[in-house]
Chains A and B, each alone.
Chain A
């Protein structure tokens, strides 16, 4: 089998090269081949999307880059994940910890469960900064306040002392994004970052991600089931089905002329606000 090379990317220029990635995870009573030979590149500063339905392997693919097993299971990874010259699948755990959160960071769907409820949000960001940057407590707090301001939290010096339950869902997602970008990662993985949020808050978070990408020069790997979300956010899209990439290309081409019947079926099923849309 030949590796799929995304169009417009040469193999040696990419910051991230994933080749023939496989993931097989075993739960209490079954083994599942969740990813079956996925290959793609992400260049420095590039925004790349992954779309597909639940169980298609998009989240497991993202987690491979952090070498995180889905909850309650153990994973057997295969293939290669080359990030800035490091083979992540065989990197010793201490070295992986040095990359995780510092060079590659991740934002998840649920801002309710991703924060520690008993610590102030400022303290949680402080800890993250101190762990990765080794700065003093005072310097860490100064950076924390800057970050909370950067993600659009008003009166950040005061809000840093508040606990997660004192923030709305959208504000908690901003806090998690602040934490994720605290060490200026080269790649931010966002797995359904707005799925749990109201539509007006979703629009704010999407704008925030676009602005941070521009300001910090990060690459973005956006995972979503929502074609509306993916449309305005990325340069290239991968469509996943059954643990494989069934189609990939520039975002405008995929929307204008989907080639794979599965991509067409997905796009046709998207409900639209204008009459004559796709829900029959």
Chain B
């Protein structure tokens, strides 16, 4: 990797809340398989109060990226700075105190809550661990958190199984917010939920962001949901960010052929248009085949020769990678 790296997309603010640079996660060789670069030189910023949507298909590296940012997965290279502080290589005791600022909400509200604990115990646990409120103030804070996520504080003595999927996800969100974090990684937070419940949880996440100034990394395979929650969107493929920009740019002028294939595959809830879509021949490109080739890239630049990044700005806020980019016909 060559350094120093210019920013793929101009930072939204002078001091972003989160700054990720060349984050790389390599899984070692197993059995007969070669090592896998699950995240490959991933770089982006997230400003305070901003949502970056991270989309891609299974195996694209989006979950690995989220886990590596939270230091739940060791990075093999790169930098993750939260509130100006480098998290990679940080001493465990220091990292523990930084965890107060970064939390996560996972996909499955059924397995991410301990079935033996009451909701009160679940919400009190992070308060105790991080000692954010004095012990006698814990019940009051628990009630406050329940109200924050739109639930009745009277039900805190119940166990997770007594709640619906949507209510459980509200409890998961309340737990993440218990310590007043600045940054939350939401990894497929609504994909296990019914469509009406999805809409309500997305609504809740957005109103919490407005009220508390939260920043989100919103990881999802559902492009329509991301369209609605994200200010900016990064598209991942093969461990790389292949396109990034403001949501209206990526959805309005998708510029990487993979982004276009992804958007094209989304079923449209309109019988006439969806039938027409299915009757057309699909885009069946093996994007893995268009890794880095010697010589000029799809944009006519020889990166190996010039030492420049495989990244091509389309606007001050929108850019595309020539990696996995089929050569012009």
Q: Which residues in B have their C-beta under 8 angstroms from that of A269?
A: 195-196, 198-199
Tell me if B196 and A271 are in contact (CB < 8 A): no
Decide: A280 near B274, CB < 8 A? Known: A200-B261, A271-B227.
no
Residue A277 contacts which of B227, B264, B271, B272 (CB distance < 8 angstroms)?
B227
Tell me if B278 and A228 are in contact (CB < 8 A): no
How many angstroms between the C-alpha atoms of A233 and B274 in the bound complex? 8
Q: What DSSP secondary structure best describes chain B's contact surface?
A: helix
Closest A residue, CB atoms, query B56:
A198
Q: Which residues in B have their C-beta under 8 angstroms from that of A226?
A: 267
Smallest CB–CB gap between A104 and chain B, Å?
A: 24
Q: Mark A220-252, 1 if CB is under 8 A from B, else 0.
A: 000001111101110000000000000000011
Smallest CB–CB gap between B18 and chain A, Å?
A: 25
Tell me if B224 and A198 are in contact (CB < 8 A): no
Decide: A231 near B267, CB < 8 A? Known: A225-B195, A271-B225.
yes
Tell me if A199 and B221 are in contact (CB < 8 A): yes
Tell me if B269 and A227 are in contact (CB < 8 A): yes
Residues of A bordering B, CB below 8 Å: 53-54, 169, 198-204, 206-207, 210, 225-229, 231-233, 251-252, 255, 265-267, 269-273, 275, 277-280
Decide: A273 near B227, CB < 8 A? Known: A203-B282, A231-B270, A255-B269.
yes
Asked if B268 CB lies within 8 Å of chain A CBs, one says yes
Decide: A266 near B228, CB < 8 A? Known: A204-B282, A232-B271.
no
Tell me if B198 and A272 are in contact (CB < 8 A): no
Residue A232 contacts which of B196, B198, B265, B277 (CB distance < 8 angstroms)?
B277
Closest A residue, CB atoms, query B269:
A227
Decide: A267 near B269, CB < 8 A? Known: A200-B262, A279-B199.
yes
How many angstroms between the C-alpha atoms of A11 and B262 in the bound complex? 43
Residues of B bordering A, CB below 8 Å: 57-58, 165, 194-196, 198-199, 202-203, 221-225, 227-229, 248, 251, 261-275, 277-278, 282, 284
Tell me if A198 and B269 are in contact (CB < 8 A): no
Closest 7 CB pairs of A and B: A228-B267, A232-B274, A271-B224, A231-B274, A198-B57, A53-B194, A203-B265
Q: Which residues in A have their C-beta under 8 angstroms from that of B228?
A: 271, 277, 279
Q: Which residues in A have their C-beta under 8 angstroms from that of B273?
A: 231
Residue A229 contacts which of B165, B225, B267, B282 (CB distance < 8 angstroms)?
B267
Smallest CB–CB gap between B321 and chain A, Å?
A: 18
Residue A228 contacts which of B203, B274, B284 (CB distance < 8 angstroms)?
B274
Residue A200 contacts which of B57, B196, B272, B274 (CB distance < 8 angstroms)?
B57
How many angstroms between the C-alpha atoms of A86 and B199 in the bound complex? 43
Residue A279 contacts which of B202, B262, B267, B275 (CB distance < 8 angstroms)?
B202
Known: A54-B194, A204-B282, A232-B278. 5 other contacts (CB 8 A): A203-B267, A206-B267, A210-B278, A232-B267, A232-B268
Tell me if A280 and B266 are in contact (CB < 8 A): no
Smallest CB–CB gap between B236 and chain A, Å?
A: 12
Tell me if B203 and A280 are in contact (CB < 8 A): yes
Tell me if B199 and A280 are in contact (CB < 8 A): yes
Q: Which residues in B have their C-beta under 8 angstroms from that of A279?
A: 198-199, 202-203, 224-225, 228-229
